[in-house]
Amino acid sequence: MYPDDYPAQTGADDPKVNTFTDPLTGLGNRRRLMDRVRKLATERADDPAPFSIGIVNIDGFKPINDLFGHAAGDEILCQVAHRLRACLPDGGFVARIDSDEFAFVLPLVFEKRGAEKIGRMFKDVLSAPYDLGDRNVRLSASFGFAVYPFAGEQFAELMKSADTALYRSKRRGRGQITVYSEEIAEEMRRGTEVEQALRRAIIADEVAVHFQPIVNLLDGSIQGFEALARWTDRELGSVSPGLFIPLAEERGFIDSLTETLLKKAAETAKHWPSHMFLSFNLSSAQLIDPAIAFNVINILNSVGFDPRRLELEITETAMMTDPETAQKVVEELRSIGIGISLDDFGTGQSSLGRLRDFAFDKVKIDRSFISEITRDKPSEHIVRAILAMCEGLELKVIAEGIETPAQAAKLIELGCRIGQGYLFGKAVDPEAAMALIHAEEESRIRNSTVYALRG
């Protein structure tokens, strides 16, 4: 075992350096980290005073190598190592354990709040610009912590717990800090259980598509339907799409799920009257997939559904993940006749300039504004401004989440003509959606007959 201040600059021929030191940064490596943790655990075995270990992963590091080359990536890693080493608290130790992943031991950090405090300090230090000579680069970092002995007593257990916490941070977005707990472990186990069941359900064709009507607010006539995924598992029961859709994105099988759902939705929608459209949601992962237009048109051709009757919904957040690629995807989809709707407008990160630059056909006002529109003046003013802006840009508008007649009346007063929500119907299965269409056709025929007789 070598002391924590074992010099990084010791000669390269020294076997101690080769065995315990990362050659790029001069920090300790995984083996040195393992020895340091084992030593500390042994010292505290009789009276297990806690200590913490953490893992930090640089968010979005791979594109740095792709854009600027590996030399730039190596320079950033060396700067990260320098910053971490410079701001370690007393007794701390840091190692590089993977390409863009570092780990540290904090002997004097005993509990969750202390770990989170150190994490926030590291996060701030690592978020400062990195100097690459002719340019500066900003990056964020995600953290996972584990506290000995609660999260494990052996090195492997502690690292697994810290890695679980890091994975949860990554799921929550960039720059997050998570300290391992049994609740988090249970959440991860539940996620794995749902993932395995969902994969089986996709293969067995057990994920259903339901349809929520989108109507003309003036007369209630159905303009189209939004397709929404529904899944009930024999063991798990009804699983919310708010859980299984993001899970499919995170675990990398959203493509197979989407293809299955789009095919089902198109097969149903082709039997609707030709003036009705099908609205379908694209995930952020698909919006930056150059092959998505090809995949979508193949599905529509296999079903025999007119692409001009399809509207794909994308969110502001998904659009901002990679704006340039997303814009190319949007343009390619529109070139084959598919309409593009910007979903949840007003809650994401896009600027008005980005709204102008993208070729959208419709904007969907987020339900959070609609729910307050009759009792909150700021929400009313926001909706009014969105409607005026979209009119200037020649964009159609759909209001989401309409639940009361008063909300519908206020939207009509403000100039909105299309909407959806529980006031007009929840999402229903294909048979019930067709029944709604037939009921509307019969009502129209009856009204036409009455009008003719009165004439």
Q: Give the number of other Cβ atoms within 10 Å of residue 202's Cβ.
A: 18
DSSP state for residue 228 in the 8-state scheme: E
The answer to whether the beta carbons of residues 164 and 144 sit under 8 Å apart is yes
Q: What is the pTM of this model?
A: 0.72
Range name among 4-8, 124-128, 132-136, 170-174 with the lowest pLDDT average: 4-8
Given this structure, which CATH class describes domain 191-446?
A: alpha beta
Q: Which residues pair with 93 in a beta bridge?
A: 105
pLDDT band at 29 (very low <50, low <70, confident <90, very high): very high
Helix (H, G, I), strand (E, B) or coil at 103: strand
DSSP state for residue 428 in the 8-state scheme: B
Burial of 180 (0-12, 13-18, 19+ CB in 10 A): buried
Tens-place pLDDT, residues 1-26? 333 444 444 444 555 556 889 999 99
The answer to whether the beta carbons of residues 104 and 88 sit under 8 Å apart is yes
Tens-place pLDDT, residues 367-417? 989 999 999 899 899 999 999 989 988 889 999 999 999 999 999 999 999
Rounded to whole angstroms, how far apart are CA atoms 149 and 43?
13
The answer to whether the beta carbons of residues 114 and 52 sit under 8 Å apart is yes
pLDDT of residue 204: 94
Tens-place pLDDT, residues 58-90? 988 887 877 788 899 999 999 999 999 999 998
Question: Who contacts 210 (Cβ-Cβ below 8 Å, separation ≥6)?
Answer: 227, 228, 229, 230, 427, 428, 429, 430, 433
pLDDT of residue 286: 85
Rounded to whole angstroms, how far apart are CA atoms 215 and 451?
23
Average pLDDT on 91-98 reads 95
Q: Give the number of other Cβ atoms within 10 Å of residue 270's Cβ.
A: 15
Domains 15-180 and 191-446 share a fold: no
Burial of 20 (0-12, 13-18, 19+ CB in 10 A): buried
Tens-place pLDDT, residues 218-238? 999 999 999 999 999 999 999
Domain coordinates in residue numbering, the chain: 15-180, 191-446
Of 105, 71, 72, 68, give the one whose Cα is nearest residue 88. Answer: 105
Tokens describing residue 216: 């003309």
Given this structure, which CATH class describes domain 15-180?
A: alpha beta
